[in-house]
């Protein structure tokens, strides 16, 4: 059957990786573990951003190249609200909500009028993201901001081998796992999730069963965009917020989704892990060629599995 | 009846379940349905016709899944131009050609999803009673079912909308003869025990005649004639002429 061949191939691909990892681990255990942790936590952030992108594309086939703008808007709104109210939690909620509202507006006022026209959607959303970038520059300027998470998330936790590791990055990881689990539950255990899955399979039949697809689309867009905004606040607290972050996270989402394959939470998670790890290993071991690894992974995936590692169709 | 219910005041009994008048469906410049008119008062009407004559296009127009021009009235009310979900909520349910069950939903999820918008006589348990086979497979995914089981599921999904009009597009396609017989019996008993009108598209003449009260013939996107099912059953030459090489003789 198919499975043993897959397994053979997986083993073939994994063996050199394991050998290299074992060497790296032996060479400098601490550096290796630190790079791994950095990679996994970066992957957590990528997962948060990309899962929204994958959800939106998976159901509606909408190519939303303004997804990075949703991330950045969420970050700015989160910063402002957090700054004004002094509550980081309120900032998180506001960032996610702000992006979700913008997402619904995009769906209702833009995507609704160009179903199935990927090229037009891509061009229009690129234009929108340029406009949004200028608007955000106008409101928040070119300064670099960073949100302050609550007291207890500061500082570092004691871990084996690396000894000290920033607590906030571990929280990031926990959040990503929670969001992944939440998404899985949403898709598999709720009524709207059932509608989203049925809509991915055959949306016309879903409409003919009495479901208002525009409503399902709007809800999905709100969730996907809300995730981007949420990621913006979370990422803006771990790293920083500045103009240009929008394209960076859009690119990251695209790569993650290309590598992992669309349509499954697991695919997005695996794609995010691969990209996050390769970036951080590259940074640790071959700073000059770091970026190259990401693109090698992408090219290899496109060559051997153009639908992505977990891509079904 | 309460005064707030206009449908009752309008004496629905006098209105045809489905009245199609000069319907056109175009795909780009090609016309799939041309000036088709059709009347289904009550009971079961079959539409027969060879491949590519526009039967599916007609069904898709009635359910709002493709744009059309002309008039489609459901119990006297115009539904042409409404979006599919509104048409469904008005009581039109669709069992499409090829079943089109959702591959990532289980049998049970199909039924629960459909059982929301018009709660009536039918419940998922009622569907399981009608098709006990589905109950055994309730946790299986849509694509793990056999063709016959998928057909049962598609019918169950449609019935849960509590339809006043049920559209079925070639339900016997790809089914074993024994399953086709069971399906005919099921449809006859459904038609007898509910108020529901049925529009049945079918290439299997024997099945059409078996289930329907009258039969409409579609040629090149147009309904050319309508006749009682018994008349078609008796006229072998007409059957040959209608279906050409596809003819499946209807036994006496
Ligand atoms: N989506 C579409 N785009 C373009 N042309 C179409 C489309 N669907 C159907 N057609 C064309 O319209 C005509 C009628 O097709 P339709 O599917 O309605 O026929 P049918 O009577 O249901 O045939 P069959 O018995 O094979 O199911 C055909 O010539 C077909 O090629
Ligand atoms: Mg057809």
For residue A112, give every residue at least 6 positions away whose Cβ sits within 8 Å of its Cβ, in sequence order, or none.
A214, A217
B66 or A301: whose pLDDT is higher? B66
Q: What letter does residue B54 receive in the DSSP assignment?
A: S
A89, A148 contact by CB (below 8 A): no
Our answer on whether the CB atom of B151 is closer than 6 Å to any ligand 1 atom is no
Residue A309 to residue A58: CA distance in whole angstroms: 15
- Residue A5 predicted with pLDDT over 70: no
- Residue B101 predicted with pLDDT over 50: yes
Mean pLDDT on A208-222: 94
Q: Measured between CB atoms, does B63 come within 8 Å of chain A? A: yes
Phi then psi for residue A183, to 5 deg, are -60, -45
Residue whose entry in the numeric block shows the structure tokens 């063996």 = A15
Mean pLDDT on B219-233: 91
Our answer on whether the CB atom of B160 is closer than 6 Å to any ligand 1 atom is no
Residues of B in contact with A200 (CB under 8 A): 104
Protein residue whose Cα sits closest to atom 4 of ligand 1: B27
Residue A48 to residue A73: CA distance in whole angstroms: 15
Between A24-28, A30-34, A134-138, A204-208, the lowest mean confidence (pLDDT) is in: A24-28
Our answer on whether the CB atom of B204 is closer than 6 Å to any ligand 1 atom is no
Q: What is the structure's pLDDT at A298?
A: 87
Delineate the domains of chain A, giving CATH numbers in brackets: 6-304 (1.10.3470)
Chain B: give the shortest CA distance to residue A57, in Å.
Answer: 17
What ranges make up the beta strands (E) of A33-84? none
Q: What is the structure's pLDDT at B89?
A: 93
pLDDT level of residue B1 (50, 70, 90 thresholds):
very low
Q: What letter does residue B150 receive in the DSSP assignment?
A: H
Q: What is the structure's pLDDT at B99?
A: 92
Average pLDDT, chain A: 89
A63, A125 contact by CB (below 8 A): yes
Protein residue whose Cα sits closest to atom 29 of ligand 1: B52
- Residue B121 predicted with pLDDT over 90: no
- Residue A301 predicted with pLDDT over 70: yes
Residues of B in contact with A191 (CB under 8 A): 112-113, 116
Residue of A nearest to B163 (CA): A209
Chain B: give the shortest CA distance to residue A205, in Å.
Answer: 7
pLDDT level of residue A312 (50, 70, 90 thresholds):
low
Residue of B nearest to A198 (CA): B102
For residue A150, give every residue at least 6 positions away whose Cβ sits within 8 Å of its Cβ, in sequence order, or none.
A88, A89
pLDDT level of residue B247 (50, 70, 90 thresholds):
very low
- Residue B5 predicted with pLDDT over 70: no
- Residue B219 predicted with pLDDT over 50: yes
Residues of B in contact with A208 (CB under 8 A): 63-65, 84-85, 87-88, 93-94, 96
Mean pLDDT on A190-206: 92
A102, A68 contact by CB (below 8 A): no
If you average pLDDT over each of A221-225, A260-264, B2-6, which comes out highest? A221-225
Residue B55 to residue B217: CA distance in whole angstroms: 10
Burial of A157 (0-12, 13-18, 19+ CB in 10 A): middle
B248, B235 contact by CB (below 8 A): no
- In this structure, the number of other CB atoms found within 10 A of the CB of residue A10 comes to 10
Mean pLDDT on B164-188: 92
Residue A179 to residue A237: CA distance in whole angstroms: 17
- The Å distance, Cα B62 to ligand 2 centre, comes to 14
Q: What is the structure's pLDDT at B66?
A: 95
Contact B116 A210 (CB under 8 A): yes
Instruction: Give the tokens for residue A66.
Output: 């303004």
pLDDT level of residue B188 (50, 70, 90 thresholds):
very high
In CATH, the architecture of B16-91+171-252 is: 3-Layer(aba) Sandwich (3.40)
Q: What is the structure's pLDDT at A2?
A: 43
Residue whose entry in the numeric block shows the structure tokens 């899962």 = A51
Between A61-70, A287-296, B162-171, the lowest mean confidence (pLDDT) is in: A287-296
Residue A203 to residue A217: CA distance in whole angstroms: 11
**Beta bridge partner(s), residue B214:** B45, B228
Among B64, B142, B157, the residue with its CB nearest the CB of A209 is: B157
Residue A14 to residue A25: CA distance in whole angstroms: 16
Protein residue whose Cα sits closest to atom 1 of ligand 1: B27
Our answer on whether the CB atom of B51 is closer than 6 Å to any ligand 1 atom is yes
Q: What is the structure's pLDDT at A305?
A: 82
Residues of B in contact with A210 (CB under 8 A): 85, 88-89, 114, 116-118, 161
Mean pLDDT on A127-142: 95
Residue whose entry in the numeric block shows the structure tokens 């229009």 = A124
Our answer on whether the CB atom of B29 is closer than 6 Å to any ligand 1 atom is no
Length of chain A: 313
- Residue A154 predicted with pLDDT over 90: no
Give the model confidence (pLDDT) of A266-281 as tens digits: 889 999 999 999 999 8
Mean pLDDT on A80-102: 95
Protein residue whose Cα sits closest to atom 17 of ligand 1: B56
Q: What is the structure's pLDDT at B251?
A: 45
Instruction: Give the tokens for residue A275.
Output: 């990209």
- Residue B245 predicted with pLDDT over 50: no
Q: What is the structure's pLDDT at B2?
A: 43
In B112-131, the residues whose Cβ lies within 8 Å of chain A are 112-114, 116-118
Our answer on whether the CB atom of B30 is closer than 6 Å to any ligand 1 atom is yes
Between A147-161, A220-234, B72-86, B224-238, the lowest mean confidence (pLDDT) is in: A147-161
For residue A6, give every residue at least 6 positions away whose Cβ sits within 8 Å of its Cβ, in sequence order, or none.
none
Identify which of B134, B146, B81 has the alpha carbon closest to the alpha carbon of residue B109. Answer: B134
Q: What is the structure's pLDDT at A265?
A: 82
Residues of B in contact with A204 (CB under 8 A): 65, 84
- Residue B10 predicted with pLDDT over 70: no
Q: What is the structure's pLDDT at B244?
A: 61
Of the bound ligands, which one is closest to the alpha carbon of residue B53? 1
Residue A232 to residue A250: CA distance in whole angstroms: 12
- Residue B119 predicted with pLDDT over 50: yes
Chain B: give the shortest CA distance to residue A197, in Å.
Answer: 7
For residue B22, give every residue at least 6 positions away whose Cβ sits within 8 Å of its Cβ, in sequence order, or none.
B35, B36, B37, B70, B71
Give the model confidence (pLDDT) of A8-49 as tens digits: 777 887 888 888 888 887 888 888 888 999 999 999 999 999
Q: Measured between CB atoms, does A211 come within 8 Å of chain B? A: yes
- Residue A3 predicted with pLDDT over 50: no
- Residue A235 predicted with pLDDT over 60: yes
Mean pLDDT on B232-236: 86
Our answer on whether the CB atom of B49 is closer than 6 Å to any ligand 1 atom is yes
């Amino acid at each position: 059957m198919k499975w043993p061949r897959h397994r053979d191939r997986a083993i073939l691909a994994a063996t050199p990786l394991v050998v290299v990892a074992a060497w790296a681990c032996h060479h400098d255990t601490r550096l290796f573990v630190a790079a791994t942790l950095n990679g996994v936590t970066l992957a957590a952030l990528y997962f948060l951003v990309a899962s929204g992108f994958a959800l939106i594309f998976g159901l509606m086939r909408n190519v939303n190249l303004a997804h990075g703008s949703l991330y950045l808007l969420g970050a700015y709104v989160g910063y402002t609200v957090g700054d004004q109210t002094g509550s980081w939690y309120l900032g998180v909620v506001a960032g996610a909500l702000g992006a979700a509202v913008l997402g619904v507006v995009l769906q209702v006022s833009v995507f609704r009028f160009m179903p199935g026209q990927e090229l037009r959607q891509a061009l229009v959303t690129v234009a929108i993201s340029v406009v949004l970038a200028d608007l955000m520059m106008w409101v928040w300027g070119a300064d670099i901001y960073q949100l302050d998470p609550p007291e207890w998330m500061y500082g570092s936790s004691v871990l084996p081998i690396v000894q000290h590791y920033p607590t906030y990055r571990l929280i990031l990881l926990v959040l990503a796992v929670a969001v992944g689990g939440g998404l899985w539950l949403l898709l598999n255990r709720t009524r709207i999730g059932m509608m989203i899955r049925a809509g991915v399979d055959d949306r016309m039949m879903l409409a003919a069963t009495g479901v208002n697809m525009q409503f399902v689309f709007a809800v999905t867009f709100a969730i996907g965009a809300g995730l981007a905004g949420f990621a913006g606040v979370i990422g803006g607290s771990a790293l920083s917020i500045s103009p240009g972050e929008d394209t960076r996270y859009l690119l990251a989402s695209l790569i993650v989704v290309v590598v992992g394959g669309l349509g499954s939470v697991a695919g997005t998670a695996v794609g995010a892990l691969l990209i996050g790890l390769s970036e951080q290993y590259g940074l640790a071991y071959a700073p000059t060629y770091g970026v190259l690894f990401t693109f090698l992974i992408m090219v290899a995936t496109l060559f051997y599995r153009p639908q992505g590692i977990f891509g079904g169709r | 009846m309460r005064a707030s219910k206009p449908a009752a005041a309008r004496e629905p009994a006098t209105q045809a379940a489905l009245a199609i008048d000069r319907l056109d469906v175009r795909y780009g410049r090609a016309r799939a349905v041309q000036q088709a008119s059709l009347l289904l008062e009550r009971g079961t009407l079959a539409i027969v016709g060879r491949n590519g004559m526009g039967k599916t296009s007609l069904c898709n127009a009635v359910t709002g899944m493709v744009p059309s021009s002309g008039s489609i009235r459901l119990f006297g009310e115009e539904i042409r131009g409404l979006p599919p979900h509104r048409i469904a909520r008005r009581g039109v349910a669709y069992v499409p050609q090829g079943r089109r069950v959702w591959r990532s939903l289980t049998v049970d999820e199909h039924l629960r999803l459909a059982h929301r918008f018009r709660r009536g006589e039918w419940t998922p348990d009622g569907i399981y009673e009608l098709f006990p086979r589905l109950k055994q497979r309730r946790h299986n995914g849509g694509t793990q079912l056999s063709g016959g089981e998928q057909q049962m599921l598609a019918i169950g999904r449609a019935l849960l909308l509590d339809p006043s009009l049920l559209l079925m597009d070639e339900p016997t396609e790809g089914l074993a003869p024994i399953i086709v017989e069971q399906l005919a019996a099921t449809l006859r008993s459904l038609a007898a025990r509910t108020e529901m009108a049925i529009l049945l598209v079918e290439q299997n003449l024997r099945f059409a005649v078996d289930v329907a009260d009258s039969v409409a013939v579609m040629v090149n996107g147009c309904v050319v004639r309508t006749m009682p099912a018994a008349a078609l059953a008796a006229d072998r030459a007409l059957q040959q002429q209608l279906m050409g090489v596809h003819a499946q003789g209807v036994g006496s």
